Amino acid sequence: MSDSVADFAADTERFRRELLAHCYRMVGSPHDAEDLVQETYLRAWRSYDRFEHRASVRSWLYRIATNVCLTASRTRPVRVLPSGLTGTDDGVSWLEPLPDAWIGDPAWIDDPATTVVTRESLRLALIAGLQHLPARQRAILLLRDVLAFSAVETAEILGTTTAAVKSGLHRARTRLDELRPHPEELLEPSDPRARALLEAYITAFEHSDAALLETVLRADATLEATPFRDWQSGRADCIHLLATHVLGAPGDWRLTPTAANGHPAAVVHHRSRPDGVVVLEATPTGVSRVIKFHDPTLVAVFAQPRTQNSLPSGSASTVHG
């Protein structure tokens, strides 16, 4: 490895996971986020010899990554969940869950309070809400409220004015508050209560036990599944749908515990075939929301090993080569 490649790796690789999280927040797909991070590193490598450290490496990389995402957003449809559809939605692309293992514990953060913000900023409800913002407003809100860049830094990253940043941030916050008027108190996947709810949900499916499933869901629980546009609200309707059309016979389903977007989740097989991933929004009073991503390719995504020292895609050496 040449000195320039080694210097590039030393300067940039420690930011790869947080850039992956940023790109995922922007586009709502781990597949797309990986591609955008790779493009970010390619562009960074190509301009590295002109980077004179007048700005921090982190802000330089975020400038590249954010603009890569904004360019991609011009040609890619917004990703949504069934509950976020409107009557005018055509050619829908579905939001995809992000395996917690891809991000891991945010070791790049020293401040515990900031760590909480980072984790909460990957919750599915927020990611879904973000996709309804214009891409530039989405970028402003993430840079300011999640990543804590100043208005001046954000303006430099986006090539705009501080006045435009402040105006865009106000509009983004207002719209997001309309989309998420009453944020839930959600449990971390490691919380014993969340683990118990997930275990009961898995047992109910594997044993085709609708009565047990009823004890897991809150009375006001919602149930939605991509790629189906209809969704259910209320425990009674959710249980009726699942018991009538989904649960089947004992042994039809096999669920393996995992975590996605800071939620308890499970990788799903149906009659030994990959089926998708289910994510639970677990609260102190039960599961308030079940989101099933019926996409067999996600089983392989969640099976991909991601360790604290591994890289989601590529490396400085492959960029160089």
For the chain, how many structural domains are there in total?
Answer: 2
Q: Looking at the structure, do residues 260 and 119 belong to the same domain, yes or no? A: no
What is the predicted pLDDT for the residue at 312? 36
My answer on whether 14 and 158 are in the same domain is yes
309 assigned to some structural domain: no
How does pLDDT run along the chain (321 residues), one tens digit per residue?
456 888 899 899 999 999 999 999 999 999 999 999 999 999 999 999 888 777 789 999 999 999 999 999 998 888 999 998 876 666 679 999 999 999 876 544 555 555 566 678 999 999 999 999 999 999 999 999 999 999 999 999 999 999 999 999 999 999 999 987 677 889 999 999 999 999 999 999 999 999 999 999 999 999 999 999 899 999 999 999 999 999 999 999 999 999 999 999 999 999 999 999 999 999 999 999 999 999 999 999 998 765 333 333 444 333 333
Do 179 and 208 share a domain, yes or no?
A: no
Q: Does 227 lie in the same domain as 149?
A: no
Domain assignment present for 256: yes
DSSP state of 275: E
Q: Is omega for the bond preceding 227 within 30 degrees of 0, making it cis?
A: yes
- Which positions ≥6 away from 29 have C-beta within 8 Å? 79, 93, 95, 96
- pLDDT confidence of residue 90: 66
Task: Report the CATH number that the domain containing residue 208 is assigned in CATH.
Answer: 3.10.450.50
Q: What's the CATH code of the domain at 9? A: 1.20.140.160
> Are both 234 and 268 inside the same structural domain?
yes
Residue 317, in any domain of the structure: no
Residues 32 and 168 grouped into a single domain = yes
Rounded Cα gap, residues 18 and 20, in angstroms: 5
CA-nearest of 235, 207, 206 to 219 is: 235
Is 80 in the same domain as 212? no
Domain end (from 183, 218, 252):
183
Residue span of the structural domain in which 11 resides: 3-183
Q: What ranges in the chain are assigned the alpha helix state H? A: 3-12, 16-27, 30-47, 57-73, 100-103, 112-120, 124-130, 135-141, 151-158, 162-179, 192-206, 210-216, 235-245, 297-303, 316-320
Distance CA 255, CA 205 (A): 8
pLDDT at 217: 98
User: If you search the block for the tokens 């983004």, which residue do you land on?
Assistant: 172
Q: Is 62 part of any domain?
A: yes
Residues 28 and 161 in one domain: yes
The one-letter amino acid code at 167 reads: S
